[in-house]
Structure 1
Amino acid sequence: MIDLGYALSRRFPDPPQTDYRTADVRALRHDLFCGDVYVAEGERELSTAWGWVPVLDFAWALCDIAEHLDRDPAGSRAARPQHAELDFTESTDRLRFVRRFGFVDVSADWLPDEPPLAVRHADLRREARDFLHDVVADLGDMHEGLTDNPAVWQLLTRYPRV
């Protein structure tokens, strides 16, 4: 089973004058809610320790990746590997995703000696969407107006919980 998580950074706080109700997509994805993230499967974990990863963008990108990996019409019967990458804006490091049949291997450039995590694609899709909704709920509790932002509404309707 896959586990996704995050911790917000105290070193990179959001600007105090931010109006979360009207923040644009660029700000939501790249400038706000910085911290660290992790992807775990069982006892193994791929995590950042940089403090500047945009947490909402990470959750959003995971949902995009889960959908991208499902574009082959053969779905879980597809023998041809399907690839996707999540690049971190301020770094050359990436999380790499390779789907073969119904499983996705997740590896991190910054941990080259770690074998990839293997997760079911259906679990990745479900957990990514749950993670997105949980992150938005947590951030909405901390930042007044965020859940009233039209971009956040669109995001949550695009990726409903499954």
Structure 2
Amino acid sequence: MPELQRLRPDHAPALLAFEEENRAFFAASVPDRGDDYFTHFAARHASLLAEQATGACHFHVLVTEDGEVLGRFNLMDVADGAAELGFRLAEKATGRGLATLTIRELFTLCTTAYALTTLRAGATVTNTASRSVLTRTGFVLTGEELVLGGERGVGYVRELAAGPSGHA
């Protein structure tokens, strides 16, 4: 079973491979990161780690036993017990419930390690897979209309239980 790990410097090569291998797949449902992202990946990775060290964000990767990255699960803009959830899963890992299971595992980290009580998320209206995962994990539509990378999106929110399971 893949393991959720907090982002570390040594994840960089596998994370870059994940992003490159899945670029076209991701671009079909979320705005593309652009060539600059890949050209300056090392600096971007270092910047994320520095931001994580401040506590403003918590970045995670879903990793196989042999170190391959299957997904990213990020908590961004942490403030006042709330954070923004962002996630993406490798094409070859979809359809097996991994995103749902990993987000539920992340709920536990949110309440036990990060003292979070609320998660927000957004998804483009055309990203039915992410919207389904959010709904399955207890997120509800906020009614907020978002613009995500120039595309129409919708907002979600999830209140987290104070207990160890993170389930409401």
| TM-score, normalised via structure 2 length | 0.32
Determine which structure has the larger strand proportion and give its number.
2
